Amino acid sequence: MIKVTRLDGKEYYINPHQIESIEKKPDTTLLMLSGKIMVIRESPEDVINRIIDYRKCIGGFKNEE
């Protein structure tokens, strides 16, 4: 799970494997596989780095270093 912050300041943990796409318009918008849309404070680059760190942590994707 990765931590993200909604625009209202609430922090959430989401499953990065459920993210379908990330857009910057101008706020970062996550489209989840469920169809849910989340607008967050973090930049797309921050989200991608958190996903990479998470995947390294679980040990399933060693080639992403």
pLDDT tens digits for range 40-59: 999 999 999 999 999 988 88
Q: What is the pLDDT of residue 59?
A: 82
DSSP for 3-65, written as a single string: EEEBTTS-EEEE-GGGEEEEEESSSEEEEETTS-EEEESS-HHHHHHHHHHHHHHHTS-GGG-
CA 29 to CA 24: how far, in whole Å? 6
* Mean pLDDT (whole number) for 7-13: 97
Predicted pLDDT at 58: 87
Residue 15 pLDDT greater than 60, yes or no: yes
* Residue 11, pLDDT score: 98
Q: What single DSSP character describes residue 1?
A: -
What is the model's pTM?
Answer: 0.84
65 pLDDT exceeds 60? Answer: no
Distance CA 62, CA 7 (A): 33
